[in-house]
Amino acid sequence: MSITIRVPSTLQPLAEGQREVADSSETVSAAIASLEQRYPGIGPKLLDDDGKLRRYINLYVNQTDVRFLSGLDSQLKDGDELSIVPAVAGG
């Protein structure tokens, strides 16, 4: 099984400049753990100290926000794309 994790430009320096990372995780939480194992320091940018998704980070499986699926327990299947999208604020 293979999924693609899309890394935003703000986190690419932590991911050795990678825009996309291939992975074989079966859940969103496992994909984040895999990213943290490969690229130490990226996990805390996505999850808080309680292991919950930071409120300014959005995760999408294909085009669906994981908050409308099963959150970090959302299942991934072959060919899925997990996109990390930081919230944008302005005024």
CATH topology of domain 3-86: Ubiquitin-like (UB roll) (3.10.20)
Domain ranges of the chain: 3-86
User: Which parts of the chain fold into alpha helices (H)?
Assistant: 28-38, 43-46
Cα(74)–Cα(42) distance, rounded to whole angstroms? 20
Three-state DSSP class for residue 32 = helix
pLDDT (tens, 9 = 90+) of the chain, 91 residues, equals 899 999 999 999 999 999 999 999 999 999 999 999 999 999 999 999 999 999 999 999 999 999 999 999 999 999 999 999 998 766 6
Residue 58 buriedness (CB in 10 A; 0-12 / 13-18 / 19+): middle
> What pLDDT, on a 0 to 100 scale, did the predictor assign at position 91?
60
Q: Contact 31/5 with Cβ under 8 angstroms? A: yes
